[in-house]
Structure 1
Amino acid sequence: MKKLGALLILISTCSTAVLAQQENLSNSTKPVQAEEPPVDGYLVKSDIAERKVIPYANIRQTDIAYSKRVWRELDLREKMNKAFASPKSRLIDIIVDAIMKGELTAYDPTPTDNDPNGDSFKNVLPVDQVMSRFGGDSTLVEEYNENNEVVSSHYESKKFSGENVVKFRIKEDWIFDKQRSVFEPRIVGIAPLVTPNIEGLATNPILPTGTNAPVEGGNPFDPFAVQPETATAQPTNEDASLAQLPTEDATFSPQIDATPAFWVYFPEARHVFVNKEVVNRNNDATGLSYDDVFIKRMFSSYIVKQSNPEDLRIKDYIGDGLERLYESERIKKTLMDYEQDLWSY
């Protein structure tokens, strides 16, 4: 009797497994008549959607033997960061969608009295102002008649596109916990960077003093444009000597730096990132979430600032772009050297 009962249990278990497999596999030969759509693939990927955030290890203030705050920028145009800009799972789309649903809080990056740097998560940015940081959430549409005259106009909602966001700024602390003997980074916040669109900057360039304004039919900034014919005076010896001297009347082309659109508190964002899968170029079954990518440091970035008494950024004391990258690598090496110097081999 016991053998018969065990056999029945085994048969029911096998039939349940077969039915479950049939539900997952897309092997039906007849039209599916069901309320839910068929499975897109060989099974339902539910591991990412059901994940929970693994909390950080607790750190006591008395156990922190070393702490250093750094700001780094993550460029999505680099090959290692291409997954962050994938249309299937774009990072900026995930952040904006979570803010609009109320799952994340956006913080205003504007410097104020209580937040001089604008990145201390002191001032909450209203949800209706989030889209305006990317160039506005509506656009003016004008209607014309057959005489090309404006007869009416109205505003239409502009659909958000994260293709223009190519950089993120990360604020993090490097901490050495002497209780656990661990030197690790803790990301504090993430901010998408946008370049302000200054109206009239491209159309009205600032020319050197004494230079004639561009006339119709000529563009001094286009080497392939047809330039108007002007009388050229023969240079004298005095003019040749003056041409060798540096002058302040050089063409001024202002450089517009990308600024944070808003800040997101990373410990809060982890509960959103843990359920968002990162697209992998080589394998679709990696199962990595955005939380895994940030915690495991699977991205490429460069440091733009470290904590210092003068509160200076790297570009404040180094003008050359290549030298800034060298300074960024020097700061990275300083952090790694601190950890290596703690141990003796």
Structure 2
Amino acid sequence: MNKFLSFAALAASLTLSVSASAQEQATTASSNGSYRPIPNSDIMFRKTIWRAVDLREKQNKPMFSEGKEISRVILEAVKRGELQAYRNDSLTSTFTGPEVSSRMSYVEASAGLSEEEKAAGFSEESTDDDWGAPKTKGKKGKTASKPKAPAAPPSYEYRYKDLYQMELKEDMIFDKKRSRMYHDIKTVTLLVPSTLSSNVSGIETPIGTFKYSDLVRVFRANPDKAIWFNSQNDAQHKNLADAFELWLFNSYIVKVSNPNDSRLDEVYGGPQQGILAAQQAASDLIEYEYNLWSF
């Protein structure tokens, strides 16, 4: 009887320890944005990869259909308070809603006065007096005008169609229990493209980074908006969450985890070299997976 009780107590303690370990792994995985976390004990190989996605490409157009752009779905969810934006893919600090709105906006450059307006006597510091109102008299009968502070130029939000650049962070994991390679997406970052004429900085500017697990929740909750458009069959449109799960998009590698945290174009000395390095990195990963099955 004592042996039976001892065995039952041991089994109960092992069950509690295993469940506690599983809970700890799930919590840790969910904090980094993974939607389907793989236990560390099942991981034989892992490599962190950053991929660029240009939504203007033909293969990516279903994610960017008119009125159903993925950028629209994400940013409108942020505005409604359904989605949290982060400052970077480390997911350690967050953006508020107004901060995201400011980062997806641009200030219109002032066009200034035309030559005809300058010849007519107008100036950048002109006041209402220039339109015929009586000017105030200063000391000794001189006419004095009180200059007005220049008005701040108006700001506008980018169109959702302008926000066609995204970056994914994923872990490429070989699961030894299931004997297959997984693309475990962690985060998705929306960027203001460097090629927009209204982006005077000329560099890609991040609007916000989002946990992939949060995005899946938003996509599932908005099936009428989060659509991957099937141009071959209107009865077979898919949810954006399914499109990511099935990898129905094209991307190219821009960074592979390295000690200096450098992007490929920085490592190899230029954009063209970076593109060649991205193709080589993709080939190397495919070859590694293939060699796992060689005996």
Q: Place the TM-score, normalised by the shorter chain, in its bin.
A: 0.5 to 0.7
1:322 and 2:266 matched: no
Give the C-alpha shift of residue 138 in structure 1. 10
1:185 and 2:183 matched: yes
Distance 1:198 1:160 in 2: 10
After superposition, give the CA deviation of every residue in 1:71-127 in whole Å (9 maximum; x if it has no partner). 010012211112233222001110001111111100113xxxxxxxxx211101011
Given that residues 84 and 91 in structure 1 are in contact (C-alpha distance below 8 angstroms), is that contact kept between their aligned partners in structure 2? yes
Give the C-alpha shift of residue 195 in structure 1. 4.4
1:304 and 2:264 matched: no
Distance 1:158 1:174 in 2: 39
After superposition, give the CA deviation of every residue in 1:291-320 in whole Å (9 maximum; x if it has no partner). 111111111111110001121111112234
For 1:168, the equivalent position in structure 2 comes to 166
For 2:44, the equivalent position in structure 1 comes to 65
Unaligned runs of 5+ in 2: 1-33, 111-120, 129-147
1:104 and 2:83 matched: yes
Give the C-alpha shift of residue 282 in structure 1. 2.3
Give the C-alpha shift of residue 164 in structure 1. 1.7
Q: TM-score, normalised by structure 2?
A: 0.67
For 1:122, the equivalent position in structure 2 comes to 92
After superposition, give the CA deviation of every residue in 1:186-206 in whole Å (9 maximum; x if it has no partner). 11001111147999x97xxxx
Given that residues 88 and 279 in structure 1 are in contact (C-alpha distance below 8 angstroms), is that contact kept between their aligned partners in structure 2? no
Give the C-alpha shift of residue 340 in structure 1. 1.0
Distance 1:195 1:96 in 2: 16
Given that residues 293 and 299 in structure 1 are in contact (C-alpha distance below 8 angstroms), is that contact kept between their aligned partners in structure 2? yes
Give the C-alpha shift of residue 159 in structure 1. 5.5
Structure in which a larger fraction of residues adopt helix: 2
Q: 1:292 aligns with which of 237, 242, 245?
A: 242
Q: Which amino acid aligns with 2:182?
A: E
User: Secondary structure of 1:185's match?
Assistant: strand
User: Secondary structure of 1:176's match?
Assistant: strand
After superposition, give the CA deviation of every residue in 1:217-248 in whole Å (9 maximum; x if it has no partner). xxxxxxxxxxxxxxxxxxxxxxxxxxxxxxxx
Distance 1:124 1:91 in 2: 21
- Between the two proteins, what is the percent identity of the paired residues? 30
Unaligned runs of 5+ in 1: 1-54, 110-118, 141-146, 203-254
Distance 1:198 1:175, change over 3 A: closer
1:277 and 2:275 matched: no
Distance 1:319 1:157, change over 3 A: closer
Larger radius of gyration: 1
Q: Which amino acid aligns with 2:61?
A: K
Given that residues 167 and 189 in structure 2 are in contact (C-alpha distance below 8 angstroms), is that contact kept between their aligned partners in structure 1? yes
Given that residues 264 and 274 in structure 2 are in contact (C-alpha distance below 8 angstroms), is that contact kept between their aligned partners in structure 1? yes
Structure in which a larger fraction of residues adopt strand: 2
1:263 and 2:242 matched: no
Distance 1:308 1:155 in 2: 43
Q: Which amino acid aligns with 1:177?
A: D
Given that residues 192 and 262 in structure 1 are in contact (C-alpha distance below 8 angstroms), is that contact kept between their aligned partners in structure 2? yes
Q: Which amino acid aligns with 2:160?
A: G
Given that residues 137 and 160 in structure 1 are in contact (C-alpha distance below 8 angstroms), is that contact kept between their aligned partners in structure 2? no
For 2:20, the equivalent position in structure 1 comes to none
For 1:338, the equivalent position in structure 2 comes to 288
Distance 1:134 1:150, change over 3 A: farther
After superposition, give the CA deviation of every residue in 1:153-174 in whole Å (9 maximum; x if it has no partner). 6997845521221210111001
For 1:135, the equivalent position in structure 2 comes to 105
Give the C-alpha shift of residue 57 in structure 1. 5.2
